[in-house]
Amino acid sequence: MGKSDRANIIGCDIKVGDDCISIEDGTKNVDIKEVSLGPRHGISIDRLGKFQNEEPVEGTKVSNCTITNTSN
C-alpha cells in the first residue's frame, strides 16, 4: 500500500511468495493486528531512502501477529 491513510488489516491469514504486506512512502496510520503472515517476506516498508522526494511512513502499528518462515 502506498500513500494510504487509516488502513486496517485485522484478523486474516496472508500467505504469498513475496511481501505479505508492503508499505510504501506516504502511508500513515496503519493498524495491523491478529494477522498470520508468511512465508518469504512478512511486513516490508519498501524502498525508503531510495528516491529523493519520498514521503515518510508514520503511525504504523503491528500487534498480536504471527510471522513465520520469513526473512524480514
CA atoms within 13 A on the CB side of 9: 23
Among the listed residues 5, 13, 41, 46, the single catalytic one is: 41
Whether residue 46 lies in the annotated active site: no
Residue 18 among the catalytic residues: yes
Q: Which of 13, 18, 31, 46 is catalytic?
A: 18
Q: Which residues are catalytic?
A: 18, 41
